[in-house]
């Protein structure tokens, strides 16, 4: 029972992390109609920046904040120099260009930080287990990820639904030309949204960094998961991305934790040990395929434009 609670929390934590990544992706996708494969590179850069700045400053929080600022800046520069010229182009052109950026970032990281991965050690106050319900302990750091991600999600909701900028973002998502014609500086808005997405990706990367090693290519696997989420949730819908992210996080974690035992009850030992890892890795993709076959526009399609 405790194991189930723990794995549920792990799933929630993973899902919320995926949400941070997917939120930026779905905003950029929904508003600028831009497929950004390099989003995973921003996630990786966030992690590398954090590992570097934490080592420099000696403080986890300060280093994390610096890394967040650096990723935001990187996103804005990237948008300003290259990507803004690709809005309105064919999706395939965008795929090709941002695929090129992945190659660039991977080798740039290898040049600067070397091919070996980095570790980002946690400060002592984040390594203690916390008692969440009597008898169940959970690592403080993972708990912090859940809280930070929830806070960011709430803030994102407030910004998008309750502020003027958010209103413009929503208007931009439903009709780009029209808000441009109404005299809104649409270029600035796009740069802002892209920067926001980059910062969210960076935040996800730097929070994930202490759990996994910081390494080249870390963004590629998780990028595909983020795409799966925005497709399941419906492109351009932040609410959909949130639901899908938590759903995917929990299914993936629970699948990996409990599927092997379940299979062993049905199949023979050898067959189960072959099938279980494949099936639990495939679970998410299987889910997406089923959802797309049944609902070709995702679960929560954003309003038609």
Partner 1 sequence: MTPKLNASNAVAALLCAALVLLPVYSAVTGNIFILTLFTRIAIYALAAASLNLIMGYGGMMSFGHAAYLGIGGYAVGILAAEGIGSGFIQWPVALAVSALFALLIGALSLRTRGVYFIMITLAFAQMAYYVASALSRYGGDDGLTVYKRSDFAGLINLSDRTQFYYLCLGCLFGGLYLIWRIVNSRFGLVVQGVRSNEQRMQAIGFHANRYRLVCFVIAGTICGLAGALLANNTDFVSPAVMYWTRSGDLMVMVILGGMGSLFGPVVGAIVYLLLEELLSQFTEYSGLILGPVLLLIVLFARGGIMGLLGRMSRG
CA distance 85 to 87: 6
Within positions 234 to 263, which residues make up the interface with partner 1, using CB under 8 A?
235
Binding residue for partner 1, selected from 59, 127, 163, 274, defined by CB under 8 A:
274
Closer to partner 1 by CB, 4 or 95: give it. Answer: 95
- Least distance (Å) from partner 1 to the CB of residue 99? 5
Pattern 176-215, partner 1, x by CB under 8 A: ----------------------------------------
Binding residue for partner 1, selected from 96, 154, 161, 165, defined by CB under 8 A: 96
> Is residue 305 at the binding interface for partner 1, with CB under 8 A as the rule?
no
108 binds partner 1 per the rule CB under 8 A: yes
Cβ 52 to partner 1 shortest distance, Å: 19
Contacts to partner 1 by CB under 8 A: 29, 35, 37, 82, 85-86, 89, 91-97, 99-108, 110-111, 220, 224, 227-228, 231, 235, 274-275, 277-278, 281-282, 285-286, 288-289, 292-293, 296-298
């Amino acid at each position: 029972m405790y194991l189930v609670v723990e794995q549920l929390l792990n799933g929630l934590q993973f899902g919320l992390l995926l949400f941070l990544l997917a939120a930026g992706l779905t905003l950029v996708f929904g508003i600028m109609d831009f497929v950004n494969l390099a989003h995973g590179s921003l996630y990786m850069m966030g992690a590398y920046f954090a590992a570097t700045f934490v080592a420099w400053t000696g403080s986890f929080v300060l280093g994390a904040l610096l890394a967040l600022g650096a990723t935001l800046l990187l996103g804005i520069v990237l948008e300003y120099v290259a990507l803004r010229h690709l809005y309105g182009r064919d999706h395939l052109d965008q795929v090709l260009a941002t695929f090129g950026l992945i190659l660039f970032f991977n080798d740039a990281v290898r040049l600067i930080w070397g091919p070996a991965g980095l570790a980002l050690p946690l400060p002592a106050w984040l390594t203690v287990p916390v008692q969440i319900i009597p008898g169940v302990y959970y690592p403080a750091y993972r708990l912090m990820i859940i809280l930070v991600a929830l806070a960011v999600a709430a803030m994102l909701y407030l910004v998008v639904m309750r502020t003027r900028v958010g209103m413009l973002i929503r208007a931009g998502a439903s009709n780009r030309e029209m808000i441009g014609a109404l005299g809104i500086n649409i270029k600035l808005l796009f740069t802002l949204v892209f920067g926001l997405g980059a910062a969210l990706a960076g935040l996800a990367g730097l929070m994930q960094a202490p759990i996994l090693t910081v390494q080249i290519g870390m963004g590629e696997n998780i990028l595909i998961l983020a795409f799966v989420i925005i497709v399941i949730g419906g492109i351009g819908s932040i609410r959909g991305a949130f639901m899908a992210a938590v759903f995917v996080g929990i299914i993936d974690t629970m699948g990996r934790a409990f599927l092997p035992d379940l299979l062993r009850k049905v199949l023979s030992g050898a067959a189960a040990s072959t099938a279980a890892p494949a099936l639990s890795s495939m679970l998410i993709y299987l889910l997406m395929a089923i959802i797309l076959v049944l609902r070709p526009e995702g679960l929560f399609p954003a309003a038609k434009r």
